[in-house]
Amino acid sequence: MKAIGFLRNVSHFVACMTAILSQMDNQHYSFYIETFQTSSELVDFLMETFIMFKDLIGKNVYPSDWMAMSMVQNRVFLRAINKFAETMNQKFLENMNFEEQLWNNYFHLAVAFITQDSLQLENFSHAKYNKILNKYGDMRRLIGFAIRDTWYQLGQNKICFIPGMVGPILEMTLIPEVELRKATIPIFFDMMLCEHEKTGEFRKFENEIILKLDHEVEGGRGDEQYMQLFESILMEYTSQYPDISKSVENFVSLVKGLLEKLLDYRAVMNDESKDNRMSCTVNLLNFYKDINREGMYIRYLYKLRDLHLDCENYTEAAYTLLLHTWLLKWSDEQCAPQVMSTEFQCSQTHRQLKENLYEKIIEYFDKGKMWEEAISLCKELAEQYEMEVFDYELLSQNLVQQAKFYESIMKILRPKPDYFAVGYYGQGFPTFLRNKVFIYRGKEYERREDFQAQLMSQFPNAEKMNTTSAPGDDVKNSPGQYIQCFTVQPVLEEHPRFKNKPVPDQIINFYKSNYVQRFHYSRPVRKGSVDPENEFASMWIERTSFVTAYKLPGILRWFEVVSMSQTTISPLENAIETMSMTNEKILMLINQYQSDENLPINPLSMLLNGIVDPAVMGGFAKYEKAFFTDEYTKNHPEDQEKLNKLKDLIAWQLPFLGAGIKIHERRVSENLRPFHERMEECFKHLKVKVEKQYGVRELPDFDDKRVGRPRSMLRSYRQMSVISLASMNSDCSTPNKIVSESFELEVAPQKPTKSEENVLQTTTQPEVKMRRSKKRTKRSSVVFADEKPAPDLCLSDMKCLSRKYEFMSDTNLSEHAVAPQKTSVLKQMSFASRSMPTIPGLTLSVVCTPPADETIGSHRLSQQILPATLEGDKKTLKKKKKNQFFKTIRISKLPEDGKHSGERNFEPSSKDL
């Protein structure tokens, strides 16, 4: 009640003051001004009056529907402001008498008056708009023109209000009144000219207008018309000043680009589709990164992070937050205000903030099952704990966390996400989607049908396209919306650190669908005459390759396609790729079954039977009928090398099938024994035929219990067929059923023919060996080499790389370029391709024990080398010669011939193979 009474008294006093001012004419104002004896008294009066007027305008004492009272008050205040401005021009404009604070108060009052809600006529109904306009006029024009005239009268004193008045003037120009905009936008050019004459540039003005423009447009001001007027007016004025014309052109282009992105962002701020909001946020991120505005950059980083957390996109949230850490250093330097965030205000130094960010990011990566990235950050933290801050307690916790992540990689299933190409065609889409193609990373177990249904729900007026080919200009230029969606296959990139190492499938499989930037889509096409009995003879493959702007996963679940290319695969090349894929699939299954005794036998049964039993799938007999004929050889003499390659793949399939059948025999149940015997019978006939026609290929002897990959006989070419690469420069191989990985096989003991050497030299893919088939029984049976393995050397080399050049590709914010020195931290963030998290392969070798006279230093040595021998083994090792290069451990198991095996190495020599 007291508050209501107070407001009632205030409104009464304001009404009385308004009535008094309305009765005053010009003579009254002049007489009142003359009553002040000194200039300081007059300045105090004017400043207090301006403050009071601004307060009354900002906090209207009348109810919002008392429009008549508000308009009367505004008309009286406007007349008083103009009279006081005349007095200021007469008494306080000259350099000797210039009152900067008084003029500053005047400008802020004038802008507050022009931007008050009660004068925004476009927000009223048409009838109310006309009524106010007819009775009171548009007072915004009057005060706006007065501000313009007053500004130009300041002369040399203008520099005092730059950049302080940039924001208020911008707020005034954003009012959607065309004549007012045309009258006030030229003030910006005058500001640039004034600062340029003083300093040789207008950097302060530029920084301020970018900062204020972001807040104003997000708050609802600004439109397309303003952007066009801004550009046309400033470009018209700059033609008269050739000295700064280039700088002004760059500034106008900068502001125009920012306005476009801000308007897109504002349009989707309240949109139900968080994907669109994320896209616009990333566009602004890229923009502020390019123009080196760290404060705004970090502001939108956290907006994007929050959007990801709302959608439970923990991996993308981690990559987003990781961008902030690359602005920080491992030092005790105090954080600048622009690199701080409200979430981590307790962190005062770069080291504290970066450590807190790493902990949060590791938590996100853990939730997103991106343990490789989490391990990489843990290692960096561990280095700080061990070498810089010497906090061994935190180090121990960190190492325990790393161990958990390594265990998760090997034991927890991570489903491979599907990738979808999505094209948005038609003028009905917003500019950031219009006529563009994107690659989306699906969620776990997300089918294309479900993804497409959700996509169409975001655009209910869109029409689904049933073709995968790119549409014509008629569709792109149409006013409607057309969405195209289909599944694409990620292309595994080369990983040299895996070369010649027995890398487990759990590790390799992760990289098949992560850190990928190239994708393929293949579809069969028919050319020439079609043989109804053998479709393979005329099955051509049309392959489209997509390259995204950045690697996936990243700060978004999708990225725009920046390049597309198309190639054609011949039927023979398709057959080679299909055989390669089949061989690779057999090897992968063998590896899985020898690693896990509990896997169901059904997948292996179906794969093996489908190949060896002609009644099921026909095996490779269709290829023989299509390509291994005198007619084909005569008509296609250029394909001789490819024919030899296909024959070689067929020959190599036999030992792989034999290894698979051997596993199947041990695992098959009694109920399926007749099925297995039938499969063995078919394999025997197949083996006789293949070895007779294509030669014999043999694998090394395997352990009785497990079948491993042959060492130095299996060359990985992932998605790339050697034949297609050599003959038609294709990037990837494609079977009838698209698979993500394939292998090329070659005979190790035999020298390749001259034609085969030419083919094999064309591949640059790393060599990958299967895991050794020896079954691990106890942890004590694993021993390590005394000398440092190659992965550690790689790790040290990687640590020597400059951190600022390491992350950009995964965070997806810049091109692959090295930033010049003497630029800000944000500008130096080079997003070149980041090296993969260091996960050295587990190689089994025997520890090199030091001689007996060196045992005194063994305790210190044990800090670097982990001995894995038991107490019983140590006695045996002491009896060995000092100069023996590798010590061995005794194997209690007897070989099959019943003789005791004295010593045995875990790593076989080349002679053994």
CA atoms of 382 and 799, how far apart (whole Å): 13
Nearest-Å Rg of the Cα atoms of the chain is: 38
pLDDT tier for residue 730 given thresholds of 50, 70 and 90: very low
> How far from 223 is each of 125, 198, 263, 287, CA to CA, in Å?
20, 32, 7, 19
Contacts of 542 (CB under 8 A, 6+ apart): 522, 523, 524, 525, 566, 567, 568, 569
Q: Which residues pair with 560 in a beta bridge?
A: 438
Q: Does domain 271-412 have CATH number 3.50.50.60?
A: no
Which residue has better confidence, 852 or 277?
Answer: 277
Exposure string for 763-776, b = 16+ CB within 10 A, e = fewer: bebbbbbbbbbbee
Indicate whether 809 pLDDT > 80. Answer: no
Is 176 strand, coil or helix?
coil
Per-residue pLDDT of 243-265, as tens digits, reads: 999 999 999 999 999 999 999 99
Task: Show me where the domains of the chain are located.
Answer: 1-154, 161-268, 271-412, 417-569, 570-701
Query: Average of pLDDT values for 764-792?
Result: 36
Query: Average of pLDDT values for 309-330?
Result: 95
Looking at residue 524, the DSSP 8-state letter turns out to be E
Q: Which of 313-317, 450-454, 681-685, 906-910 has the lowest mean pLDDT?
A: 906-910
Query: Average of pLDDT values for 314-343?
Result: 91
Query: Average of pLDDT values for 34-40?
Result: 92
Indicate whether 844 pLDDT > 50. Answer: no
Task: Identify the pLDDT of residue 588.
Answer: 84
CA atoms of 326 and 337, how far apart (whole Å): 16
Per-residue pLDDT of 422-471, as tens digits, reads: 999 999 999 899 999 999 999 989 999 999 999 999 899 999 999 888 89
Query: Average of pLDDT values for 162-184?
Result: 94
Handedness of CA 94, 100, 102, 104 (dihedral sign): positive
Task: Identify the pLDDT of residue 9.
Answer: 67
Query: Average of pLDDT values for 738-742?
Result: 34
Indicate whether 822 pLDDT > 50. Answer: no
Place of tokens 């009785």: 704
Indicate whether 314 pLDDT > 50. Answer: yes
CA atoms of 624 and 614, how far apart (whole Å): 13
CATH of domain 570-701: 1.20.58.740
Whole-number mean pLDDT of the chain? Answer: 78
Task: Identify the pLDDT of residue 273.
Answer: 83
Is 381 strand, coil or helix?
helix
Instruction: Say if CB 281 and CB 303 are below 8 A apart.
Output: yes
Task: Identify the pLDDT of residue 618.
Answer: 56
CA atoms of 268 and 251, how far apart (whole Å): 26
Is the peptide bond prior to 504 cis by the omega test (within 30 degrees of 0)? no
Task: Identify the pLDDT of residue 168.
Answer: 95
CA atoms of 661 and 783, how far apart (whole Å): 32
Q: Which residues pair with 769 in a beta bridge?
A: 502
pLDDT tier for residue 298 given thresholds of 50, 70 and 90: very high
Handedness of CA 693, 699, 703, 707 (dihedral sign): negative
Q: Determine how many CB atoms are found less than 10 A away from the CB of residue 161.
A: 19
> Mind giving me the DSSP string for 626-669?
HHSSHHHHHH-GGGHHHHHHHHHHHHHHHHHHHHHHHHHHHH--
Task: Identify the pLDDT of residue 860.
Answer: 34
Query: Average of pLDDT values for 653-672?
Result: 91
Q: What is the pTM of this model?
A: 0.72
Query: Average of pLDDT values for 868-881?
Result: 39
Indicate whether 355 pLDDT > 70. Answer: yes
Task: Identify the pLDDT of residue 701.
Answer: 53
> With pLDDT > 70 as the criterion, what percentage of the chain qualifies?
75
CA atoms of 842 and 784, how far apart (whole Å): 10
Indicate whether 764 pLDDT > 50. Answer: no
Pick from 388, 381, 349: nearest CA to 362: 381
Per-residue pLDDT of 554-599, as tens digits, reads: 999 999 999 999 999 999 999 999 899 889 889 888 888 887 788 8
Task: Identify the pLDDT of residue 31.
Answer: 92
CA atoms of 266 and 278, how far apart (whole Å): 12
Indicate whether 834 pLDDT > 90. Answer: no
Which residue has better confidence, 296 or 768?
Answer: 296
Indicate whether 186 pLDDT > 80. Answer: yes
CA atoms of 759 and 645, how far apart (whole Å): 9
Task: Identify the pLDDT of residue 614.
Answer: 67
Indicate whether 15 pLDDT > 60. Answer: yes
Exposure string for 238-273, b = 16+ CB within 10 A, e = fewer: beeeeebeebbeebbebbeebbbbbbbbbebeeeee
Instruction: Say if CB 429 and CB 458 are below 8 A apart.
Output: no
Which residue has better confidence, 61 or 650?
Answer: 650
